[in-house]
Amino acid sequence: MVRQTKRPGRVHGPYAYRREWRIVVVDAEGNRNHRYFKTEEDARQVVRSLKRLFRAAAGKPLRDALDAYELYMRYDKRNKLNSVLTTRYRLDLFFEGFNRTLEDLGQAECARRYERLRMHQGRRGKPISDDCQLNILAETKTFFRWCVKQKWLKSNPLEAVEGKGRRRHGKPQLRIDEARKWLAMAVWLAYNAEKEREREGALKAIMTLAMGLREHEVLQREVRDVDDGGTLLWIPDSKTPAGKRTQEVPAFLVSLLVEQAKGRPGTEPLFRHRCKGVGRRWVERICHRAGVMKVNAQSMRGLHATLAVARGVTSHAVAAALGHESFATTARSYAKVEAVTAAAQSRAISVLTGGNSAAFHNDEGAQKHEKLHNQLCNLPKTPPISPEGDSSK
């Protein structure tokens, strides 16, 4: 049987009673006390005061705490709206069906809710994944720590609850030869595709690999973010504070970005086709056309980091280049983030281009494009895979 919340008291009214106004005060034991006032305003003022006292004695309602935490994430921490909504959805899932106060959430109740969460059936009728339930547990612990700071709780009831299951670290990545084939096809499409959306899609996909950008970091760019003749790309907003950075553009991408931004107002979006998931879809389409294993945009970011580390870039430098938030990264690399980013990019591009990235410089117009194609895996003037054999069209 579910334990009912013990309420210190409640108040009803005011009610018109003869020539006066009556309120009914019910204490914690259920005893009723009638009070009378000459005016309605006096009665309402007392009702408001008693309700405030009763709420304070009863503790903070969970739903009120969740609403306050959502406002804190949005306006104090300045988190992205999608991130805030995702966190709120996960917290609501953890506390599903609970309509009492924070004080009623003891260790036993929270442990029981975590076990129930692990058995939760997803949209496809399967139990929730280990990664998902561990993320929800971590975010709920963070919520409780915030409640402790607000002095709504004396301690975190989830502190002693340990997550169960194993996280899946990383995503499948292309091998170096596969990455070269993928890049060759992507560059060919970016220069030669007939439709604008195809050229844009290929360019977006290339930026996830060659620059290690998140998908939303690519889609949210404006024309003015392409700076200094196309050699720099500004990222003034990102998922985390560490994601706000200036990226050096690899040499073979400069002409593509300059052409994309040419003759357009600075505040106009750099890419015209910006629906969510478009970058991921183009990474997968190019995988199909290049005849390599299907991976996603997040995997391309991981490959960028893998190649950079393989060429000697330290882990904290790679984290800075990818915009990851880390205290160690901030302490050791914050002052030189542009230099660190450039080093990570140059080493990654060197691997992808067979150690011949310097040859991308000093070409102009069509000659530069043709030379670029020949250098990327000896790419001929026709696609690496014949378009007739491409079933994605």
**pLDDT in the model for residue 345:** 67
Which residue type is seen at 190?
Answer: A
Q: Determine phi and psi for 13, rounding to 5 degrees.
A: 115, -170
The structure tokens listed for 70 are 């959502």
Question: Can you tell me which residue has the tokens 């106060």?
Answer: 101
Q: Do 255 and 230 form a contact (C-beta atoms < 8 A)? A: yes
Give the closest residue to 304 by CA, choosing from 190, 197, 171, 203: 171
Distance, in Å, from the CA atom of 13 to the CA atom of 40, rounded to the nearest integer, reads: 10
The structure tokens listed for 332 are 């050791």
**pLDDT in the model for residue 111:** 93
Distance, in Å, from the CA atom of 81 to the CA atom of 88, rounded to the nearest integer, reads: 11
Crossing angle of helices 176-192 and 251-261, in 10° steps, is 30
**pLDDT in the model for residue 342:** 55
CA torsion angle 270 273 278 282 (round to 10): -80
Q: Do 182 and 174 form a contact (C-beta atoms < 8 A)? A: yes
**pLDDT in the model for residue 389:** 41
Residue 310 CB neighbour total at 10 angstroms: 12
**pLDDT in the model for residue 273:** 84
248 CB-near residues (< 8 Å, 6+ apart): 231, 232, 233, 338, 341, 342, 345
Distance, in Å, from the CA atom of 205 to the CA atom of 193, rounded to the nearest integer, reads: 14
Long-range contact pairs involving 255-260 (C-beta distance under 8 Å, separation at least 24):
255/230, 255/368, 255/369, 256/190, 256/191, 256/203, 256/206, 257/203, 257/226, 257/230, 257/233, 258/226, 258/229, 258/230, 260/200, 260/203, 260/226
- Please, which residues bridge with residue 9 across strands? 27
Q: Do 130 and 167 form a contact (C-beta atoms < 8 A)? A: yes
**pLDDT in the model for residue 166:** 82
Distance, in Å, from the CA atom of 292 to the CA atom of 377, rounded to the nearest integer, reads: 14
Question: Is the omega angle on the peptide bond into residue 14 within 30 degrees of 0, that is, cis?
Answer: yes
341 CB-near residues (< 8 Å, 6+ apart): 245, 246, 247, 248, 320, 321
Question: Does pTM surpass 0.75?
Answer: no
Q: Do 91 and 70 form a contact (C-beta atoms < 8 A)? A: no
Provide block-wise average pLDDT over 10 residues at a time, the chain (393 residues).
54 90 86 91 90 71 93 89 92 92 89 91 79 93 95 91 80 87 93 92 91 88 94 85 83 92 93 84 93 88 73 58 49 36 64 57 42 45 42 41
The domain made up of 176-389 has a fold known as hpI Integrase; Chain A (1.10.443)
**pLDDT in the model for residue 354:** 66
The secondary element (H helix, E strand) that includes residue 166 is none
Distance, in Å, from the CA atom of 102 to the CA atom of 113, rounded to the nearest integer, reads: 14
What stretches of 59-129 show up as alpha helix (H) in DSSP?
A: 62-71, 81-94, 107-118
The structure tokens listed for 46 are 């007392």
Which residue type is seen at 237?
Answer: D
Give the closest residue to 289 by CA, choosing from 209, 197, 188, 192: 188
* Cα–Cα separations (whole angstroms), residue 99 to 1, 20, 24: 15, 36, 25
**pLDDT in the model for residue 320:** 60
